[in-house]
Structure 1
Amino acid sequence: MPLNVVFMGTPDFAVPSLAEIVANGHNVVRVYTQPPRKSGRGQKLTKSPVHQFAEIMGLPVETPESFRKSAVIDGLEALNADVACVVAYGQILPQRALDAPTEGCLNLHGSLLPRWRGAAPIQRAIMAGDAQTGVQIMQMAKGLDTGDVLLSETLDIFPHDTAQSLSDRMAQIGAGMWPRILGAVERGAIRPVPQDGEPTYAHKIDKAEARIDWSRPASALDCHIRGLAPFPGAWCEIDGARVKVHMAIAEHGSGRPGEVLDEGLLVACGDSALRLTKVQPAGKPVMTTEAFLHGSPVAKGTVLL
């Protein structure tokens, strides 16, 4: 028998999950997502990706500014939902909201808990140089990502993975986990497993972190760059202009940190060197370093800041 499901999510990452839940015949009684925000050069109010998809599917949508208002939770309780499925919603749910659906709220999280609890688990895993991560569905509880794990899939982090590519894989794998866990809810076969181990925290990315510190080892900067690609994007200054670096390759080389070692943007780091392969000048699209250098040559010996 199909479940009455509330879905809470906002970005592109959440759309495959909503699509999979609908495709499996569950009755999505309400979609909650973040309110439209200003975006783009014209600062036009834009609905979230989940909002847009929900409207295409004819699903009822609500966009409360805060779930801490009693009237919002009253509306959630009135739905008499069996379960809430939460994917990158972007709001903290108070206990009364967590308790509103009969089976509570289930959250799709992009790490192997308790490692990388918090707002930026995908970016932090790459930035830390982790070889593996995962996608888990957990029972939401009071506290930051502290609930019992209900279902888990492990993923390798490949040497070429960026935050975007890893997020895309997680979104698809995570979407495929919902039919299994909702089937278990229907059968009363949920088997919660408490988190085990020392927690680490994936704090929200601070824009100040994005500046490249060339005194760090090349291997660490490679992870740093990929973990911040495409947003907010690691950056440096080249001849006084800010340039984002979206991809680089570690190579042999030595020099003053930030020094350009050849005509192809091989840059000395604290240990070894990085060849920048994809960059983005301010106000322009991502491009190959070859294309960038064609219009803005960077001389050997230049020091990037």
Structure 2
Amino acid sequence: MRIIFMGTPDFAVPVLDALAEAGHDVVAAYSQPPRRGNRGKVAPSPVHARAETLGIAVRTPLSLREPRAQADFAAWGADVAVVAAYGLILPLPVLAAPRLGCLNVHGSLLPRWRGAAPIQRAILAGDAETGVGIMQMEAGLDTGPVRLEGRTPILGKTAGELTAELSAMGARLMVEVLGDTDRYPAVPQPVDGVTYAAKIDKAEARLDFSQTAEQVERQVRAFNPAPGAFFEVHGERVRVHAAEAITESGEPGTVRDDRLTIACGEGAIRPVLVQRAGRGVMTSAELLRGFAIPEGTRL
């Protein structure tokens, strides 16, 4: 097929690669404009960089609402647009331009977790499973019918691990759907069970020890790798990359022993992997050897 690809972050790159490997003619890649990174350097998005490597024309409009941008999009004469975490709203003229419309790789089991952060929200909510759907896009927020769906248990996975897994799964499913669109008709989403996955606010990454230990441990996994769950002690932020929930009691936010066990509203967590600002990832034992956090410390 003649395809326009639309995506921005790492999640979308395996989908782009799968389309190219399947022999489709990816005529253009639309991505968010290059942005200034942590060190002040302006860099293209992962999709932008990968598309250039593959020799695919790249477009980075700030918006697709202008008639000129919509006309340019339609001029590609695409059979279908494949969308994966693009980051811009697609207006109706764009949705209608390709012959088969726009197909989205969405990282949840729709209609649960429509919106910007479905993977993190599924972990935070304690969902037993999640998945990915190939959705026929329409004007509403992730309201379109689904052509094909895959599922996976969440278990103890981090957002980073789930993102990689769902990206690979979505790439396979998208290639399958494009191989025979008649075999996978668009099925309307159920009316019941709709939830919305709001964009992650960095403030949510501060560990809330008034919650149960299970909920705090989910925070750690949901915000790994970004924005990174943390607590503050001695005026310094300590990032928690992994933690375990254990049976313990005490005043929420209080360090209970010399192993950095921290009491929660119910139970306690024990950080396993941590990181101080400007340092590498280390175990809690390694942290405590050079950064004392005595029993009784209130975080």
Query: Match for 2:24 among 23, 26, 34?
Result: 26
Give 1:171's match in structure 2, choosing from 158, 164, 167.
Answer: 167
1:64-117 residue CA offsets vs partner (Å, 9 max, x unmatched): 111112111111111110000000001110011000100000000000000000
1:1-305 aligned at under 5 Å gives the runs: 3-41=1-39, 43-159=40-156, 161-185=157-181, 188-196=182-190, 197-304=192-299
**The residue matched to 1:135 in structure 2 has which SS?**
strand
CA distance in 2, matches of 1:60, 1:295: 51
Distance 2:8 2:34 in 1: 10
Give SS of 2:183's match.
coil
CA offset digits 1:192-235 (Å, max 9, x no partner): 11101221000001122121111111011111221111111122
State the SS of the aligned residue for 2:180.
Answer: helix
Range 259-268 or range 238-247, more displaced: 238-247
Q: Measure, in 2, the Cα distance between the counterparts of 1:9 and 1:294.
A: 44
> Which 4+ runs in 1 deviate beyond 4 A?
none
Task: Provide the secondary structure at the position in 2 that maps to 1:76.
Answer: helix
State the distance in 1 between where 2:18 and 2:74 align.
24
> Hey, what's the Cα distance between the residues in 2 that align with 1:59 and 1:158?
38
Structure 1's unaligned 5+ residue stretches are: none
Give the TM-score normalised by structure 2. 0.97
Q: State the SS of the aligned residue for 1:55.
A: helix
Aligned partner letter, 1:170: L
Partner amino acid, structure 2, of 1:6 = I
Q: Which runs of 5+ in 2 are unaligned?
A: none
- Residue correspondences, number: 298
Using the TM superposition, give the Cα deviation of residue 239 of structure 1 relative to its aligned residue in structure 2, in angstroms.
1.9
Structure 1 residues 149-201: Cα deviation after superposition (integer angstroms, max 9, x where no partner): 00000110022x1110111111111111122110123xx33411110122100
Does the aligned pair in 1 maintain the 2:148–2:184 contact within 8 Å?
no
Query: Which amino acid in structure 2 is aligned with residue 191 of structure 1?
Result: P
Task: Please give the per-residue CA displacement for 1:258-289, whole angstroms capped at 9, x wherever unaligned.
Answer: 11111111101111110011112223333222
> Match of 1:204, SS?
coil
AA partner of residue 152 (structure 1): E
- Paired letter, 1:81: A
Structure 2 letter corresponding to 1:172: A
Structure 1, 130-139 or 67-76: larger mean CA deviation: 67-76
Letter in 1 for 2:241: H
Residue identity in the other structure for 1:192: A
Q: If the length of structure 1 is used for normalisation, what is the TM-score?
A: 0.95
Q: Work out the CA distance in 2 between the residues paired with 1:285 and 1:163.
A: 20
Tell me the C-alpha RMSD between the 2 structures. Answer: 1.0
Once the two structures are overlaid, the 10-residue window that deviates more, 217-226 or 139-148, is 217-226
Distance 1:289 1:51 in 2: 38
